[in-house]
Structure 1
């Protein structure tokens, strides 16, 4: 059963609109400012977790001890 031209045109228009929406979404997601904001928010969120916070404090203390040891040797 062949389809009529109006049905085909509607399908093409629908596919075109869907493609345009997808491209718009991709352009928003790949915006450098948005990527930076998203990454920054993820890092801040991860760094505020207790295990990560304690690990960062420990690493900072270790670096401070090594620097002081190097200075006073």
Structure 2
């Protein structure tokens, strides 16, 4: 095995340690339950606010109200 300079070896170890720390920090941020919940909430709101979805939900609401009224009248 070739002789390596101890300074060079220490530099490589420090660089690897810094890269590992950055990776661990990134994984911790990505796995944060609060951030995951906030992202899911934002995606759900963006989906519901699409015009086609909004109209479909409004139509479903009107249909539900109509069925409830019809059921109450037929008692």
Normalised by the length of structure 1, the TM-score is 0.76
Query: What do the CA deviations read for 1:16-73 (whole angstroms, capped 9, x no partner)?
Result: 2111111112212221211111111111111111111111111212222222222222
CA-CA distance at 1:8 after TM superposition? 3.0
Report the counterpart of residue 59 of structure 2 in structure 1: 58
| CA distance in structure 2 between the aligned counterparts of 1:6 and 1:62, rounded to whole angstroms | 75
Tell me whether 1:7 sits opposite 2:8 in the alignment. yes
Q: How many residues align?
A: 73
Larger radius of gyration: 2
| CA distance in structure 1 between the aligned counterparts of 2:42 and 2:6, rounded to whole angstroms | 50
| CA distance in structure 2 between the aligned counterparts of 1:66 and 1:57, rounded to whole angstroms | 14
Tell me whether 1:32 sits opposite 2:25 in the alignment. no
Q: Any stretches of 5+ residues in structure 2 without a counterpart?
A: none
| CA distance in structure 1 between the aligned counterparts of 2:33 and 2:52, rounded to whole angstroms | 30
| CA distance in structure 2 between the aligned counterparts of 1:71 and 1:25, rounded to whole angstroms | 56
Normalised by the length of structure 2, the TM-score is 0.74
| CA distance in structure 2 between the aligned counterparts of 1:10 and 1:22, rounded to whole angstroms | 18
Q: Any stretches of 5+ residues in structure 1 without a counterpart?
A: none
RMSD: 1.9
